[in-house]
Amino acid sequence: MCEFKIIRKNDNRQMLEDIVILSYNENNELELKDVIGMGEILESALILNVNTMNQKCIILENPLIKDFISLINNLSENKSNKSEINRFINKLDKIKSELKS
């Protein structure tokens, strides 16, 4: 059984270790659990890399990720609508307007 060290790419910090379950729940939150079911729920995170050779998992946290995963899931199931897409675009536009260049 692989037990992963979870590394947060945002700051290259090890968040957790001995994680055996990495999965998204029905709220599109990333659940990380050890062998006895203890762990953490990351509200808006994306798994970037899972390496069984060095037993590391790299994750990225960003407020947009949860909404993006939800949008992609809904699009793939033909459940999305224009208002959901527009809400996501508005969030991107806000970030764009805050950029300096």
- What pLDDT, on a 0 to 100 scale, did the predictor assign at position 64? 96
Euclidean distance between CA atoms 46 and 48, whole angstroms: 6
- What are the structural domain ranges in the chain? 4-61, 64-98
CA distances 85 to 13, 15, 33, 89, 101, Å, are 33, 32, 32, 6, 25
pLDDT digits (tens, 9 = 90+) for 52-92: 999 999 999 999 999 999 999 999 999 999 999 999 999 99
What average pLDDT does this structure show over 18-26? 96
Residue 36 has a pLDDT of 95
